[in-house]
């Protein structure tokens, strides 16, 4: 113990170490309680299953996805989205007889980024918004509707060809994101509802 400014000071190193160890134990207890609560919540939810396991009807989700026909989408970017979805649903193999049709409408927007004082933009962002419908071919009933969005940025250059190539690359990246999002949403729906 020491005497400082009229107060008796104890061994501060010991009390600080005790305080830190108590806080550490307290945080560990709280984390364990949260993990136990999350485990109980998940165990009570009997509907959790792997996305590409079997569906609620017992059929393979992969086989159900192979039975989805992707309707044509106009434009170069639409063709990119369609091709990605076809490859994702069939794996590049032969297509199963189609039971569903996936109709997609794309909207593209280009936004200027990093605008200089002169008004020139040094970069742009391509945004693709897709609205889709999954239709049952047997009765033409819409089973699911949804939206997917993809964004990709690119730099602008002095050369025209470089700008066009950079924009195409950004469109392709945004299209891949949209296709992946739609595939995941449709697979989740088919796994749980069809």
Give φ, ψ of 189 to 5 degrees: -65, -50
pLDDT single digits (tens) 116-142:
666 666 788 899 999 999 999 999 999
pLDDT of 71: 94
Q: Which of 50-64, 85-99, 126-140, 152-166 has the lowest mean pLDDT?
A: 50-64
The residue ranges of every structural domain in the chain are 2-44, 61-193
The structure tokens listed for 93 are: 């193999």
Higher pLDDT pick, 105 / 89: 105
State what percent of residues in the chain have pLDDT above 70. 66
How large is the C-alpha radius of gyration of the chain?
28
Q: What is the CATH number of domain 61-193?
A: 3.30.160.150
Q: Is the predicted pLDDT of residue 25 greater than 90, yes or no? A: no
Map the chain to HEC letters: CEEECCEEECCHHHHHHHHHHHHHHHHHHHHHHHHHHHHHHHHHCCCCCCCCCECCCCCEHHHHHHCEEECCCCHHHHHHHHHHHHHHHHCCCCCCCCCEEEEEEEEEEEEEEEECCCCCEEEEEEEEEEEEEEEECCCCEEEEEEEEEEEEEEECCCCHHHHHHHHHHHHHHHHHHHHHHHHHHHHHHHHHHC
Q: Decide if 186 contacts 134 (C-beta within 8 A).
A: yes
State what percent of residues in the chain have pLDDT above 90. 40
The pairing of beta strand 68-70 with beta strand 7-9: unpaired
Q: Is the predicted pLDDT of residue 70 greater than 80, yes or no? A: yes
pLDDT of 153: 86
Place of tokens 């485990």: 39
């Amino acid at each position: 113990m020491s005497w400082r400014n009229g107060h008796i000071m104890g061994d501060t190193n010991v009390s600080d170490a005790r305080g830190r160890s108590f806080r550490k134990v307290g945080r560990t207890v709280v984390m364990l309680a949260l993990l136990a609560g999350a485990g109980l919540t998940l165990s009570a939810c009997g509907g959790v299953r792997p996305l590409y396991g079997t569906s609620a009807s017992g059929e393979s989700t992969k086989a159900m996805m192979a039975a989805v026909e992707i309707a044509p989408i106009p434009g170069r970017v639409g063709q990119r989205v369609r091709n990605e979805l076809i490859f994702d649903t069939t794996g590049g193999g032969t297509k199963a007889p189609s039971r569903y049709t996936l109709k997609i409408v794309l909207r593209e927007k280009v936004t200027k980024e990093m605008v200089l004082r002169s008004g020139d933009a040094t970069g742009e962002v391509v945004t693709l918004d897709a609205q889709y419908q999954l239709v049952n071919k047997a009765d033409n009933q819409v089973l699911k509707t949804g939206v997917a969005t993809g964004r990709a940025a690119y730099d602008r250059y002095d050369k025209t060809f470089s700008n066009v190539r950079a924009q195409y690359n950004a469109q392709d990246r945004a299209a891949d994101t949209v296709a992946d999002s739609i595939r995941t949403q449709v697979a989740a729906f088919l796994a749980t509802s069809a």
